[in-house]
Structure 1
Amino acid sequence: MFKKLPGDEAQHLVTTTPDTAVVFRPAVLKTPAIVTIVIFTWRLLAGAVRLLWRYPIASSVAVAPGALSWLYGWQWGIALLVLVPVALTMWRLVDRASFLRLVGWRLLAWWRRVWIYRRHWQPVMIVSGLGRHLRGRDYLPRLVRVTCTSWADLVTVRMLAGQSVKDWSDRIENLAHGFGATSCRVTVARSGRLLLAFPRRDPLAVPLPALPIPAVASVGPVEIGKQEDGTPWRLKVHGTHVLVAGATGAGKGSIIWSTIRGLLPAVRSGLTQIWALDPKLMELSFGRDLFDRYAADPATCADLLEAAVKIMQERAGRFAGVQRNHVPTVDDPFVLVVVDEVAFLTAYQSDKGLKLRISAALATLTTQGRAVGVGVLAALQDPRKDVLSIRNLFPDKIALRLDESEQVDMVLGDGARDRGALADLISPQPDLGAGIAYTRLETSPEPMRARAGYVSDADIRDMVAVFTADTLPLTVEGA
C-alpha cells in the first residue's frame, strides 16, 4: 500500500490520511569526529598562514608582545607594548608620508577588513541578493583584499560563478549603506574580480582656487583641478573633443576658464589659438581679449564655425599622405573652438538656416577635426538627444551636477551611473558642489570624480592684464 521512502521506514510517517502531505526525515550521514577535527585544524592553519601573508605588519604587532612574554618574561612584553607605540608616533611626526605608506594604511586596512567588512559580509551579501542561501548553505562572493588610501577603502571581491558586473552595479546603494559608506563605485579588476571603492571622506569638499598659470607653453593635457585620489586633474584638449554638461550653477565656467588659463602660455607662444562662441554674452565676453576670434550673435557664430571647417579641410589636404597626427607649430597651431552654451545654437535657434549651418559645421569638426589640430570644447545644460544630436561625437565627456538620474547616462554613456557616477546627487550649494564632476574619457570607460578650480572674475581680469602686458612665459615644451 505504501511506497518505501528513502531515508525512513513507512512507520515513521506522520499521517496516513490520503489528502495530507507526506512528511519524512532525510537520511543523515554521521561524519567521524576525526574527520571533523582534521578539517577544522586545516582551515585554522590555512587561515593563520593567509593572515600572516596578507598582513605581516599587523600580525607582527599583535603576536610579538605575547611571544616575548612567553620566551623572556612579561617585562619584555610590557616594554614592547610601550616602546612600539612611542616609536610609531615619533615616526609619524617626523615623516608622515612614509609612515602612512608603510604602516598606517596597512594597519587601517587590516582593522577595517576585520571590523567592517568581514563582520558584516554575510548579512550584506544575503540581504542585497548578491549571495545565495541554498539547501541550508550560504554561497557568498569572496572578500579577497582590503586596501586603504587617504580617502577610500578599495575592496577586491571575487564574484560567484555566473554573476555579472551589472548584478553588483545595480546594488551600489545596498553595498554603500551596508558597510557604512556614503557611496560605492564598481570597477572591473580582472575576469571574475571586482574592485569596490567605499569613500571614507570627501577630499573634494573644499572649493579649489584657480590654479597658477603654467610656466611652460603646452597644448596639454591641461591641469584644471584635482581628482578624488589627490592627483592633478589634467584635461586633454588636443587630439580630442570635450563635452561639458551641467545644470545652471554647476560650474561649467570653472572647467572652461581653467582650460583657457592652462593654455595661455601656448597662446602667447603661437602654438594655440582659442576661438570663442558666446551666444549668451555673459561668460566668455568677460575675457574676450584672450581669444584670437570671438563671436556672440548666431550669424557670426555660424561664420566662425565654418571658418574653422575651412582650416580643417585645408590642413587635411596638406597632411594627406604626409602625416596622420597634428603637431602644433606656429604655422599650424592647435585651434580650440570653445562653445559656452551649444544648445542656444543648435536646439533653441529660431532661424532654421543658421541652425542647419551650425549643426553641420559642428558635426564636421567633431568627426574630422582632431586629427588635424582642431578641437571643440562645448558646454550645455540639457544633454537630451533632441538638444544636441551629436553628443556621441565627443570622445571625452564631463558631467557636472545634473537634474535627473537619467541624464547621467545620457552624458557619460549607458551604465555610468550604476558604476558610481552620481552626478545627479552633487550638492546644489555652490561651496559644496560647484565644479565637482564625473568624467568619462575615451581611453577609460570608468567614471572618475574630480573638481575644477574656481576662476573668479578677479582671476580673469588678471589673466587679461597679464596677457595684454605680454609678460607670459615663452618657454615652449620640448624646447
Structure 2
Amino acid sequence: MFKKLPGDEAQHLVTTTPDTAVVFRPAVLHTPAIITVLIFTWRLLAGLIRLIWRHPIAATVIAVPAVLCWWASWRVALAAVTVPGSVLIACGLFHRALFLHWVGWRLLAFWRRIWVYRRHWHPVMTVSGLARHVHGRDYLPHLAHVTCTSWADLVTVRMLTGQCVKDWADRVDHLAHGFGATSCRVTVARAGRLLLIFPRRDPLAVPLPAVPILDEVSVGPVEIGRCEDGTPWRLKVHGTHVLVAGATGAGKGSIIWSTIRGLLPAVRAGLVQVWALDPKRMELSFGRSLFGDRYAATPEQCAELLEAAVAVMQERADRFAGLQRTHTPTTEDPFVLVVVDEVAFLTAYQSDKGLKLRISAALATLTTQGRAVGVGVLAALQDPRKDVLSIRNLFPDKIALRLDESEQVDMVLGDGARDRGALADHISPIPAQGAGVAYVRLETSPDPIRVRAAYVCDVDIRDMVAVFTAATPSLPGEGA
C-alpha cells in the first residue's frame, strides 16, 4: 500500500485527499553501542595526545605530582611541587626577564589561547566570513599556535584550502574587535599559514630621547629609534634610497636628524658627505655648519646642488665601469647622502617650470643610478600623491608617518600595506603620543613594521654642531 521514496522525491508528492498532509519519515540506521563507545574513546585518546603534544610543560607539571603521589606518598608530591615553586618565585623576584621568558609568557599564551582565541574562534570566523558552510558542514581555519611577547599576541593560523592572504587582510578590523585588540596585522609565516599580530599595549607611546652618538665609524644601517618589538630601529641609507612621508608635525625632522646624527662619526672620518636641500629654510638650517658649502635653500641653489650630485655620480660610474659593481666608502669616494626636506615644493609647487624640470630630472637620475656608486637620497614630503612626486616608486624603502587619509598609506607604502595593518592614518596627532611613530616598508619585505624615531631637539642639534665643528675644523672635501 505504501511505497518507499527517496528523500528528494518527497517534495513532488501530490495528494488528492483534502487536508491530508504527506508525512515523510526517513529511514533510521541504528549504530551499535560498541561502535559509539569506540569512537568516543578514540576521540578522547586523540585529544589527550594532542594536548600533551601541544603543551608538554603544563602536562608535566600536572602529571609528575600525580604520579609521585600514587607511587610514593603525598609528602613526596608536595615536596616536588614546593621546591620548584620556590625556585620560580625567587627567579621571578630577582630575575624577572628570565622568569617571563621561560614561564610567564608561556603561561599567558596558554591562558589567552583558551580564554580569548579558542573561546571566540568559531563566532569570529563565522561572522567575519572566513569560515565556510558547505553541504551542511562548517569548515573553520585552524588555530595552530599562540605565542605571547611583552606587547602582543602572535597567533599562527592555518588557512582553509583556497584562501589567500587578501581574504584575511580585508578583515583585520573584524579580527581585532572580535578578539578584543586595538588592531591586527597579517603577515605570511609560510605557505598556507599566517601570523596574526594582536597588540596588547603600545610600547611606542612614550617619546624616545636622541640616540647617543657612538664612537664607532659606520655608514649604516644607523640606529635612529626603536621598533615595536623593542629592538633598535636601524635605517639603511647606503645602497638604497628612502622616502619619508607625513603630515605637518608628524616627525619627519626626527628621522632626518637622527639619521644625520648616526652618520656623524663617519662624516668626521671622511667616509660620508651629507648634502642638504632645505627649501623651507627652517629644518636643516640648524645644522648648516655640518654641511659646509653643500647646503642649498633657494630653488636655484637646490637645482645646482642636485646637478652637482649627478655629476659626481656619473664621474664615479665612468671610473667604476668594468671594475666594481658595488660601492665601498673611502675617503677618496665617500658615500654621498642627499637629504631633501619637503621635496614636493621643488617637484610640484615650484612656479619656475624650468627649475622644476631640472630638479625632477636630477632626482630621477639619482634614484635610478645613484645607489650603485654610493649616492643615496633621503627625501621627505607631506603630500604623497603621484602628481606631487612622480618618482616615489623609485625609492626602495619607504616610511609613512602620520597621514591625513587612509588612501595615502598605500600611496606611500604600496598597495595592500594598510590592509596588512599599516594604519598610518590612525596615528595620534598629539605630539607626545604620535610624533615620530611610523610604519616602514623595506625593499626586502612587503610586511610593514611599526617604529618610532628618536626625538632630536634643538639643543641636541646645537650640541652636535658645536662638538663636531670644534673637532672637525674643515669637513672632508669642503670647498670642492
TM-score bin (small chain): over 0.9
Q: Any idea what SS the aligned residue of 1:445 has?
A: coil
C-alpha distance after superposition, 1:210-239 (max 9, x if no partner)? 000121111100100111111110000000
User: What is the CA RMSD across the aligned residues, in angstroms?
Assistant: 2.6
CA displacement at 1:240 relative to structure 2: 0.2
Task: Name the aligned partner's letter for residue 198 of structure 1.
Answer: F
2:313 is aligned to: 312
> In structure 1, the residue corresponding to 2:446 is in which secondary structure?
strand
Q: Which residue of 2 aligns with 1:173?
A: 173
Please state how far the C-alpha of 1:181 moved relative to its aligned partner.
1.0
Query: Aligned partners of 1:15 and 1:88: how far apart in 2?
Result: 78
Match of 2:359 in 1: 358
Which residue of structure 2 aligns with residue 226 of structure 1? 226
Structure 2 spans left out of the alignment, 5+ residues: 476-480
Query: Compared with structure 1, are the counterparts of its residues 304 and 10 closer, same or farther at alpha carbon in structure 2 (3 Å cutoff)?
Result: closer
Offset of residue 136 of structure 1? 3.6
Q: Structure 2 matches for 1:91-106, cutoff 5 A?
A: 91-106=91-106
Aligned length: 473
- 1:388-417 superposed Cα distances (whole Å, 9 cap, x missing partner): 000000000000011111100000000000
Find the counterpart in structure 1 of residue 242 from structure 2. 242
SS of 1:437 mapped into structure 2: strand
Change beyond 3 A, Cα 1:38–1:268: same
Distance in 2 (CA, whole Å) between partners of 1:12 and 1:347 is 73
Mark the CA change 1:465 to 1:133 in structure 2 (over 3 Å): closer, same or farther. same
Q: Measure the CA separation in 2 of the matches of 1:347 and 1:383.
A: 11
Distance (whole Å) between structure 1 residues aligned to residue 118 and residue 220 of structure 2: 44
Shift of 1:22: 7.7
Q: Structure 1's 13 and 250: CA in aligned 2 closer, same or farther, altered over 3 A?
A: same
- Inter-partner Cα distance in structure 1 for 2:367 and 2:262: 22
Q: Aligned partners of 1:406, 1:25: CA distance in 2, in Å? A: 58
CA–CA distance in structure 2, aligned partners of residues 311 and 281 of structure 1: 25
Report the Cα distance in structure 1 between the residues aligned to 2:441 and 2:4, rounded to whole angstroms. 65
1:255-286 deviation per Cα after TM superposition (whole angstroms, max 9, x unaligned) = 00000000000001000000000000110001
Whole-angstrom CA distance in 2 between matches of 1:195 and 1:300: 49
Q: Say whether the 8 Å CA contact 1:172–1:184 is kept in structure 2.
A: yes
Contact preservation (8 Å) 1:57, 1:103: no
Instruction: Describe the shift of the 1:368–1:10 C-alpha distance in structure 2 as closer, same or farther (beyond 3 A).
Output: closer
Cα 1:243/1:25, change in 2 over 3 Å: farther
Give the distance between the partners of 1:194 and 1:57, measured in 2 at CA.
25
Distance 2:442 2:21 in 1: 62
Q: What is residue 260 of structure 1 aligned with on the other side?
A: 260
Asked if the contact 2:268/2:472 (under 8 Å) is kept, the reply is: no
Residue 94 of structure 1: CA displacement?
2.7
Query: How far 1:115 sits from its partner (Å)?
Result: 1.3
Which residue is 1:477 aligned to?
A: none
**1:177 positional shift:** 1.0
Offset of residue 50 of structure 1? 2.0
- With over 3 angstroms needed to count, the CA separation of the structure-2 counterparts of 1:12 and 1:374, relative to structure 1, is closer
What one-letter code is carried by the residue in structure 2 that aligns with 1:395? P
2:129 is matched with which residue? 129
Mean Cα displacement is larger for which, 374-383 or 81-90? 81-90
Offset, 1:426 = 0.6
Q: Give the direction of change, closer, same or farther, for the CA distance of 1:153–1:267 in structure 2 (3 Å limit).
A: same
One-letter amino acid of the counterpart of residue 180, structure 1? G
2: distance between equivalents of 1:464 and 1:68?
Answer: 70
Residue 478 of structure 2: aligned partner: none
1:68 equivalenced with 2:63 (yes/no)? no
| 2:194 counterpart SS class | strand
Contact 2:366 2:375 in 1 (8 A): yes
Q: CA contact under 8 A between 1:398 and 1:437: conserved in structure 2?
A: yes
Indicate yes or no: 2:403 matched with 1:406: no
Per-residue deviation, 1:49: 1.8
1:440 aligns with 2:412: no
CA distance in structure 2 between the partners assigned to 1:322 and 1:29 by the alignment: 82
Aligned to 1:331: 332
Q: State, as a whole percentage, how many aligned pairs show the same letter.
A: 79
Distance of aligned partners of 1:13 and 1:428 in 2 relative to their CA distance in 1, 3 Å threshold: same
Instruction: Tell me how far apart the structure 2 counterparts of residues 310 and 321 of structure 1 sit (CA, whole Å).
Output: 19
Secondary structure at the residue paired with 1:177? helix
Name the counterpart of 2:149. Answer: 149
Q: CA deviation at 1:345?
A: 0.3
